[in-house]
Structure 1
C-alpha cells in the first residue's frame, strides 16, 4: 500500500521546500493531545501542559478531533487556495489569513475529515447541502461523545462562527506557548529547507526525497513519487506546485496531503528518533503473532489515530462487523488495544505505549 504523487511535467521552479508555522502549530497541538505518539517530546509536552491556562486547556479539548488523530488539513490552508500554487506564510498571522480564504465548504469538509468519512482524494457531496451526509456526520460525531457532537452541530449550523472561534483559539495558543516554541524551531526548519533545496538543485529530486525519508521514492522515469504507507491514495501536481514542508515536532508521522483539488504536500519530520527498549520475549511473541495478519496491521493504523467503533472499522475496510470483531478480539487478547463504552457505542483504540515497546520501526510504520 502507498500514496502516490504524479509529478509528470513538474518544472523545477514549481517544487518548493518551505516551513509552515501553522502546520507546526497543528503538530504541537497533536503532540499535546497524543503525547504517546511522540515520546521524544515528553519534556516539552510536560512543560507546556504545566503552565497552560485551564480555560485554554478546556478549549483545546473542545475541538481536539481536529488535531488528535494527526491534524486536519485546515493547518495547511495554503494547499487549498485556488490555483494550487500558494506557499505557506512566513508568520502565523499570514497563514491564519490564508485559512480565512478557504470557502465554508472547504473549511467544514476538512474539519470533519476524521469523522464524516467524506471522499478525500475524489470529489464528493457537500456536507453543508447534502442532508444524508450531514446526518451521517452527526451520527459519527455522536459515537465520540457529546462534546464532539455539540461542536459538530455548531460547525454545520454556523461555519463562520466556528471559523472565528478557531482563529482566536490559535492566536491564544500562539501567545500562550507556540510563539516561544516557533522562535526556537524555525531556525532548524529553515536550515533543513535550505539543505533539501540544495540537494534538489545539485543532486536532483531522487536524492532530495531520499533525504526526506527512506519511505519516499521516485520511479525511474522521474514522474511518480511513492510514499510507503499503510494506506492508499493518489494525487497529482497538474499545473500546480509540489510542496515539501518540514516539521521538528512530527516524528514518526510522515504525511501526504492528497485531498482532491488541493495542491499535494509532503509533510516530513526532521531529526532522528530516540531508540526504544525491547519488550520481554513472551510479550513480543504474543503481540507479534497478533499483528502478523495484514488486516490487523491495517486496523492498527486506524486505531493508532483515534478510537473507532466496530461499525466504523467495518465500513472503512469493506468487511462485516463480525469479521472486524474477531480481529479486534485477537488484538485485545494480546493487550494491544483498549476499549471503553460511550453510551450505546463501544470504542476501540490502540495502546500506543504498549506498541512502542515492540520497537520504533513498527510504531513508525503504522503512524507514518
Structure 2
C-alpha cells in the first residue's frame, strides 16, 4: 500500500518548497478537533480552547468534517489553480488573505468536490462526475452525509445549493479564526516554516530531489529510473506531475501526519511536518504489518514471553514449550524477519532474545502508521 507520484519530465525549476498559512490554519483546526492525534500540542490546544468565543466554537462544529479526519483540499487551493510560465505551478499565498484569494479562483465544481471528499467518497485519483453535475452522485453524497448526522447533512445541502455562499462562509470563518487565535500562532510558526523551506530548497539545488525527500521523511522514496515518488502509507493512490510541478508544504502543527494531495487534475502536494524528529525512523507499513502478524500467533507470543526475560537457544525453547526444534525454528524465523528478535552466537550455539525497544514502540508505530 502506498501513494505514488509519477514525475516523468519534471524539471528541477518546477519543484517548490513553500509554507501555506491557509494549510496551517487547516492543520490548527484539525489539532483543535482531534487533540489526541497531537499529544505535543496539548498545551496549545487547551490554551486556545479556554479563550475561544462560544459562537466561533459552534461554527467550528458546523463544518468540522472538513478538518476533523484530516483536512480538506480546500485548505490547499493553490494546487487546483493552474500555473503559468516555466516555473512551478501556482504557489500558496504569503498571507492568509492571499491564500483565501486563491480559494476564490477554484471553480464551483472543484470547491464542492474537494469539500465533499469525506462525505461522498468521490473518485480522488481519477476523473469522475461532479456532485454538481450528476444527480446520482449528488443523491449519494446526501445519503452519506445523512448517515453522519443532521449537521453534516445540512451543511452538504447548503454546499450543493449555494457553493459561492458556502465559500464566503468559509472565508469569513477563516478570518474570524485568524483574529481569535491563528494570527498569534502564525506569527510564531512562520519563521520556523520559512527556515525549513529555505533548507529544503538548498538541498534541492545542491543535492537534488532524492536528498530533499529524504530530509522531509523516511517514508518518502524516489525511484529515479522509474521517475516515481512513493509515499509509504496505509492507503493507495496515484498522481502525476504531468506538465505541472511538485509542491512541498511544511507544517509545524502536523506531526505525525504526512499528507499527500493527489487529487485528479490538481498539482501534487506533499504536506509534511517539521520540528523535532523521531529519534528512530518509523518502520514501513510492510514492516509494521509483518510485526503485527508475527505477534498474532499464540505460540510466538509464548516464545516472546521467554525471550523477554532471557536469551534462549532453539533447543532450550523447544524443551520449555514442549515442541520440536524445527517447529521452534520456523516461529523464530518469522519473528526475526519481522525484526522483533536479535541473535548472538556463543560458541556453536545461537542465542535469541526479544528486542524490547522495538516491541515497546509497536503501539506508537502502529498509531503513527495509521495516522500518517
- Distance in 2 separating the partners of 1:169 and 1:68: 16
- Distance in 2 separating the partners of 1:77 and 1:292: 43
Residues 34-45 of structure 1: matches in 2 within 5 Å?
Answer: 34-45=34-45
- Distance in 1 separating the partners of 2:5 and 2:141: 29
Query: Alignment length, in residue pairs?
Result: 296
Where structure 2 has 5 or more consecutive residues not aligned to the other structure, the ranges are 280-290, 298-359
Corresponding residue for residue 66 of structure 2:
66
Secondary structure of the structure 2 residue equivalent to 1:89: coil
Secondary structure of the structure 1 residue equivalent to 2:179: helix
Q: Match for 1:92 among 96, 105, 119?
A: 96
- Distance in 2 separating the partners of 1:357 and 1:268: 22
Counterpart contact for 1:40–1:273, Cα < 8 Å? no
- Calculate the aligned-residue CA RMSD, in Å: 2.1
Structure 1, residues 226-283: CA drift from partner, whole Å, max 9, x if none?
A: 10000111111111110000000001110110000000000000123679xxxxxxxx
- Distance in 2 separating the partners of 1:148 and 1:237: 33
Residues 188-227 of structure 1: matches in 2 within 5 Å?
Answer: 188-221=192-225, 223-227=227-231
Corresponding residue for residue 304 of structure 2:
none
Counterpart contact for 1:78–1:99, Cα < 8 Å? yes
Q: Match for 2:180 among 155, 170, 176?
A: 176
Structure 1, residues 101-139: CA drift from partner, whole Å, max 9, x if none?
A: 111111110000011010001111110121111111111
Q: CA deviation at 1:217?
A: 0.6
- Distance in 2 separating the partners of 1:133 and 1:79: 24
Corresponding residue for residue 191 of structure 2:
187
Structure 1, residues 47-74: CA drift from partner, whole Å, max 9, x if none?
A: 0000000000000000000000100000
- Distance in 2 separating the partners of 1:135 and 1:51: 40
Q: CA deviation at 1:10?
A: 1.0
Q: CA deviation at 1:11?
A: 1.0
Where structure 1 has 5 or more consecutive residues not aligned to the other structure, the ranges are 276-286, 294-355
- Distance in 2 separating the partners of 1:169 and 1:83: 27
- Distance in 2 separating the partners of 1:292 and 1:110: 39
- Distance in 2 separating the partners of 1:120 and 1:196: 28
Residues 53-132 of structure 1: matches in 2 within 5 Å?
Answer: 53-83=53-83, 85-132=89-136
Secondary structure of the structure 2 residue equivalent to 1:256: strand
Alignment CA distance shift 1:274-1:11 (3 Å): closer
Residues 311-330 of structure 1: matches in 2 within 5 Å?
Answer: none
Counterpart contact for 1:120–1:259, Cα < 8 Å? yes
Corresponding residue for residue 163 of structure 2:
159
Alignment CA distance shift 1:358-1:51 (3 Å): farther
Corresponding residue for residue 326 of structure 2:
none
Residues 229-244 of structure 1: matches in 2 within 5 Å?
Answer: 229-244=233-248
Please report the TM-score for the alignment, with normalisation by the length of structure 1: 0.77
Q: Match for 1:150 among 145, 151, 154?
A: 154
Q: CA deviation at 1:82?
A: 2.3
- Distance in 2 separating the partners of 1:78 and 1:132: 29
- Distance in 2 separating the partners of 1:166 and 1:141: 19
Secondary structure of the structure 2 residue equivalent to 1:217: strand
- Distance in 1 separating the partners of 2:213 and 2:362: 28
- Distance in 2 separating the partners of 1:289 and 1:264: 33
- Distance in 2 separating the partners of 1:130 and 1:116: 13
Secondary structure of the structure 2 residue equivalent to 1:114: helix
Corresponding residue for residue 325 of structure 2:
none
- Distance in 1 separating the partners of 2:83 and 2:197: 23
Please report the TM-score for the alignment, with normalisation by the length of structure 2: 0.76
Q: CA deviation at 1:223?
A: 1.3
Q: CA deviation at 1:222?
A: 6.6
Corresponding residue for residue 52 of structure 1:
52
Whose Rg is larger?
2
1:33 aligned onto 2:33: yes
